[in-house]
């Protein structure tokens, strides 16, 4: 037992990919589900392009990132939903006290507030908006969280009538809980969460605001959420 444990070595290597400030910042940034260029990430992380290039090499080699070369640009994104979930889970584990720090400027404060109201979490909706939708689904008996985390039969039907196609064939679970790091409660993730988010953005129920992950509900979205889920008012604007 004491000699060369490949399991441990693999685990350490995987964690080692994340165990660096700069790489961690990249992974968190990429949690918006979109593809970033190497230069954008370098500026975001505050290191030289040469430094970041090496980091990307390691992340890609380790299977955490997928890359796509276009002309002189190198686009990278999270390899798949599993990786996104892993990063989310780890990030959710870091003590809230570490993350909560007073904003340094008005701009930063308002950006933070926008993220707290609504944002994408890889491929699904999070923040106050994400939990409001998840709670509404639960209240209507479409989702059950009391004995686990799964859609009910009525829930599957609801997704159909809402015009949100669900692919039951995929290897991904249809529904799973994802711990929201601003709300500290679970919101809907998995194939259903991704489908709902995609539909909401396509149909204009929500729009991306700013350059990042923040998302806001449109007037049409308000109507739809009211009609389909009985959500009255604008609970996603209320501060926790």
Residue 139 touching DNA (CB under 7 A):
no
Q: Cβ closer to its own copies: 46 or 240?
A: 46
CA gap 143, 145 in Å, rounded: 7
Task: Write out the binding residues for DNA, residues 146-185 only, by CB under 7 A.
Answer: none
Q: Does 22 bind DNA (CB under 7 A)?
A: yes
Q: Which is nearer to its own copies, 33 or 235 (CB)?
A: 33
Toward DNA, which CB reaches closer, 37 or 218?
37
Write out the binding residues for DNA, residues 35-54 only, by CB under 7 A. Answer: 37-39, 42, 46-54
DSSP, residue by residue, 63-111: TSEEEEEETTEEEEEES-HHHHHHHHHHHHHS-HHHH----SSHHHHHH
Nearest alpha-carbon partner for 141 in 132, 150, 128? 150
Say if CB 79 and CB 86 are below 8 A apart. no
Q: Which of 27, 64, 74, 175 binds DNA (CB under 7 A)?
A: 74
**Residue 26 sits in the site that holds DNA (CB under 7 A):** no
For residue 190, state whether it binds its own copies (rule: CB under 8 A): yes
Question: Is residue 62 near DNA by the rule CB under 7 A?
Answer: no
User: Which one, 1 or 48, has the nearer CB to DNA?
Assistant: 48
Other beta carbons less than 10 A from residue 231's beta carbon:
19
The one-character DSSP state at 135 is H
Q: Is 34 in the site for its own copies (CB under 8 A)?
A: no
């Amino acid at each position: 037992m004491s000699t060369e444990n490949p399991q441990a070595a693999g685990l350490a290597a995987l964690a080692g990919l994340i165990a660096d400030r700069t790489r961690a910042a990249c992974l968190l940034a990429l949690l918006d589900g979109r593809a970033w260029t190497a230069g954008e990430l370098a500026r975001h992380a505050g290191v030289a392009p040469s430094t970041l290039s090496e980091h990307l090499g390691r992340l890609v080699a380790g299977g955490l990132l997928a890359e796509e070369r276009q002309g002189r640009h190198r686009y990278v994104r999270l390899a798949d939903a599993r990786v996104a979930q892993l990063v989310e889970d780890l990030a959710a584990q870091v003590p809230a006290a570490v993350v909560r720090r007073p904003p340094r400027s008005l701009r930063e404060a308002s950006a933070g507030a926008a993220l707290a109201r609504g944002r994408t979490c890889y491929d699904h909706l999070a923040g106050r908006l994400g939990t409001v939708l998840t709670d509404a689904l639960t209240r209507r008996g479409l989702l059950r969280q009391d004995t686990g985390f799964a859609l009910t039969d009525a829930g599957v039907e609801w997704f159909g009538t809402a015009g949100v196609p669900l692919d039951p064939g995929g290897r991904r679970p249809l529904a799973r809980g994802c711990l929201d790091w601003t709300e500290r409660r679970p919101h809907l993730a998995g194939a259903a969460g991704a489908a709902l988010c995609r539909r909401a953005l396509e149909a204009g129920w929500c729009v991306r605001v700013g350059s990042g992950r923040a998302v806001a509900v449109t007037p049409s979205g308000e109507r739809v959420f009211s009609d389909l889920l009985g959500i009255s008012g604008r609970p996603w604007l209320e501060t926790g």
